Structure 1
Amino acid sequence: MSPKAEAQLADFLEQLSSQKRASAHTVSNYRRDLNQLRGYCQHKNLQDWHELQNHDLRSHIALRHRNGLSSKSLQRELSATRSFYNYLLKNGLVTLNPAQHVKAPKQARKLPNTLDVDQINGLLDAATDSVLEIRDLCMFELFYSSGLRLSELAGLDLTELDIRDQSLRVVNGKGGKSRILPIGKKAIAALEKWLPYRQTVAQPDEPAVFVSKQGKRLGQRSIQLRLDLWCKKKGIPEHIHPHMLRHSFASHLLESSQDLRAVQELLGHSNIGTTQIYTHLDFNHLAAVYDKAHPRAKKKSL
């Protein structure tokens, strides 16, 4: 593509980071997705972004789909393309957005894996025998107590905890949104046990709630590995990842309260449609109870 077109793409990615304050992960995804689009334009000998038409973009998405790209990834690529062309439109560099009415192929919605209450109790009621396990159990209690994302727990600072009020503040959740969450009594007890130990290992200028043996913030990958280690040591056969605790939080809360809007707020979902997937989990539970309990639902053995 022309040097002018290359510069426009670079400018968009720069303002995405500096002005829109998008995360490094988001910027990296946009760069990768738009580089795919740029490659398609070069293959078609298109020199400038205004030359790309609606039918070109449909061909590009169709080719990506035939090459095995998932619906979710295609939706993300189209989202990146729409954002980029909205930027070009705003700056008078193009006259239309070719991605405006292009949709990715639909994909069957996959239900998230969750743990039942007995499995949660087996995971969280296990005894600790070291300072690191006291820290780990506190992390897992917070995951399930407040429905945190992995990135939110790893990024949690002491200033965002209010033990007296039994709450925490997520300052920079998904989409840069903040929210205040309650902390359950089990998680409060775990925090009160961990925080005195934290003072002895954390470096003086480290704000993180959860720190490593070196006194620095514990990273997301380290948290995943500690959960794996905890499950193996405690003899838990299921493969449990941090997001399963968030999914379990949502499913159990919805099952008990039937308040979809409240669960949406607690999870920090922008769209209630994202939260509604947990209603399918709740229905599956109710259907299983029905099949076992209703006298006219039981299948006769032959």
Structure 2
Amino acid sequence: MQQNAEEQVASFLDVLRSQQRVSAHTLSNYSRDLAQLKRYCDVHGIECWENLLSQHVRDHIAARHLEGLGSRSLQRALSAIRSFLNFLVKRRQLEGNAARGVRPPKAPRKLPALLDADQMTGLLEGELDSELEIRDVAMWELFYSSGLRLSELVSLELQDLDLNDGTVLIRYGKGQKSRILPIGRCARAAIERWLVVRHRYARAGEDAVFVSRRGVRIAGRTVQLRLDRWQNKRGLPEHVHPHMLRHSFASHILESSGDLRAVQELLGHANLSTTQIYTHLDFQHLASVYDRSHPRAKRRRPNS
């Protein structure tokens, strides 16, 4: 492709980084997806984005599907292409978006794994052997208490906490949307225990709520590794990851309240359809109760 086409991609990624403040993970994925599209254009003699047609985008997505790319990755790739072309349209560098009418393949909808209430208790209530474990349990409690995403937890700053009011401010949720969430009693107590010892680890001027052993803002990967370690210590049989605590929060709230809209607000979902997956989890629980308790649903035991 022409050099100008590459410069347009670089400008788009720079806007995502500096103005929209997307995560490093999203930026890396978009950069890779657009590089794949550029390679397609090079192979097919498409020299500029003005020459890109809807059929080209369909062919490109279909080719990546044949290469074994999963449905969710294809959806993300198409989203990257669509966002980039919209960027060019808004700058009057392109007349129309060739990806607008292209639909990605539907991804199979998997129910998220979660822990039941007893498993959550087993995870959160354990003997603490170090001050870093005080920090860790404060993170696990906050995940489960308020349904935070991993990126939201590591981004928290001290000024975002109001423990007297029992709330936490999420400044930059998904889509750069902010929201205020309640903090439960147990999570509040766990955070207060961590704040008592936090000054022994945090470097001067570091405002992150959760800091690493080196005194700087804890990394998402470190949180995942610490949860793996804690899970093994507590003897839980299945792999536990931070998003599982968020899933458990959502399912348990919905199971108790039945208020899907409230769960949507708490999770920070833009669309109710995203939250509706938890209704399937709740139905599974109700179906299980039904099978165990309804006189005409119980399985007969064989005669002894």
Normalising by structure 1, we get a TM-score of: 0.96
Residue 246 (structure 2) pairs with residue 246 (structure 1): yes
Code of the aligned partner of 2:219: G
Distance 1:193 1:127 in 2: 14
Code of the aligned partner of 2:181: L
Code of the aligned partner of 2:149: R
Q: What residue is the counterpart of 1:189 in the other structure?
A: 189
Q: What residue is the counterpart of 1:259 in the other structure?
A: 259
Code of the aligned partner of 1:57: V
Aligned residues: 302
- More divergent stretch after superposition (196-205 vs 54-63): 196-205
Distance 1:191 1:16 in 2: 33
What's the CA shift for 1:58? 1.0
Q: What residue is the counterpart of 2:59 in the other structure?
A: 59
Residue 203 (structure 2) pairs with residue 203 (structure 1): yes
Q: What residue is the counterpart of 2:123 in the other structure?
A: 123
Q: Pairwise mapping of residues 159-238 of structure 1 onto structure 2 (< 5 A)?
A: 159-238=159-238
Distance 1:211 1:91 in 2: 41
Unaligned runs of 5+ in 2: none
Code of the aligned partner of 1:112: P
Distance 2:30 2:147 in 1: 27
Other structure's SS at 1:200 match: coil
Q: What residue is the counterpart of 1:107 in the other structure?
A: 107
Code of the aligned partner of 2:116: D
Residue 300 (structure 2) pairs with residue 296 (structure 1): no
Residue 177 (structure 2) pairs with residue 143 (structure 1): no
Other structure's SS at 2:200 match: helix
What's the CA shift for 1:10? 1.9
Distance 1:210 1:220 in 2: 11
Q: Pairwise mapping of residues 73-92 of structure 1 onto structure 2 (< 5 A)?
A: 73-92=73-92
What's the CA shift for 1:301? 5.3
Other structure's SS at 2:199 match: helix
Other structure's SS at 1:25 match: helix
Encode CA deviations 1:162-193: one digit per residue, 9 max, x unaligned: 11001111111111111111010001111121
Percent sequence identity is: 59
Distance 1:282 1:196 in 2: 38
Residue 291 (structure 2) pairs with residue 273 (structure 1): no
What is the aligned-residue RMSD (CA, Å)?
1.4
Distance 2:56 2:181 in 1: 46
Encode CA deviations 1:230-274: one digit per residue, 9 max, x unaligned: 111222222111111110000000000111111111111111111
What's the CA shift for 1:74? 0.9
What's the CA shift for 1:213? 2.6
Q: What residue is the counterpart of 1:3 in the other structure?
A: 3
